[in-house]
Amino acid sequence: MWRASVLTIFPEMFPGALGMSLAGKALTSGTWALDVVDIRAHAADKHRTVDDTPAGGGPGMVMKADVLARALDTASSPDDTRPRLLMSPRGMPLTQARVATLARGAGAVILCGRFEGVDERIIESRNVSEISIGDYVLSGGEVAAFALIDACVRLLPGVMGQMASADEESFAQGLLEYPQYTRPQVFEGRGIPEVLTSGDHAKIAAWRRAEAERLTRERRPDLWEVYRQRKTS
């Protein structure tokens, strides 16, 4: 069973959206499991303090290494093969390839940072990898953890009704996904492209590939360059 262990100071946020739709159904059926660890439960004082002022001065507060160490050690035993991840804007990008790798494993232990961040020593001492869902800053790592878990769970066997659809989604082949249409045939004067109703599967496949390439070239030149180089090599 794929298992996510989430460490947070807001345990009441979970499962939240993860308890709905595909992820929620898979959670109920036992396809994956969710453990939520309250970081404050591992504080050493009666005030359940999890942060302190930054060494060297500066604004904000920093999450304490000793408290996080106790929380991580509770969530993950020494023989646990799951990666330990910190949701952080300075982390490695969460790509579809990385999601697929995580989904093939046993799960993940996910630390949700808050305030100005976490003491660097917890990252070093507990072999924590930093993961980013984009070049922007959130109030905390919980929303990012939702995104990571949902992206992984939907790839687990049996979660999506038609696994073949995952092969044609954005990023699966290095391209953004082609445009989609459905009934009605005409909407506010706009019709469905004739090729999609032609019944010619070869022409449909060619159109979809051309549209995926066009969208990727226009919207994500970084992805397009990688795809182009791979295609010509």
Query: Residue 192 has what DSSP assignment?
Result: P
- Averaged pLDDT for residues 122-151: 98
Domain membership of residue 22 (yes or no) is yes
- Among candidate residues 119, 153, 187, the one where a domain is terminated: 153
Asked whether the beta carbons of 177 and 127 are under 8 A apart, the reply is no
- Are 39 and 11 contained in the same domain? yes
User: Tell me, what's the pLDDT at 193?
Assistant: 97
Asked whether the beta carbons of 113 and 67 are under 8 A apart, the reply is no
3-class DSSP assignment, residue 73: helix
- Among candidate residues 153, 185, 205, the one where a domain is terminated: 153
Residue-wise pLDDT for 153-183, tens only, equals: 999 999 997 654 566 667 878 999 999 999 9
Does residue 162 or residue 210 have the better pLDDT? Answer: 210
- Among candidate residues 114, 133, 153, the one where a domain is terminated: 153
| pTM, 2 dp | 0.92
Number of domains the chain is built from: 2
Residue-wise pLDDT for 96-133, tens only, equals: 999 999 999 999 999 999 999 999 999 999 999 999 99
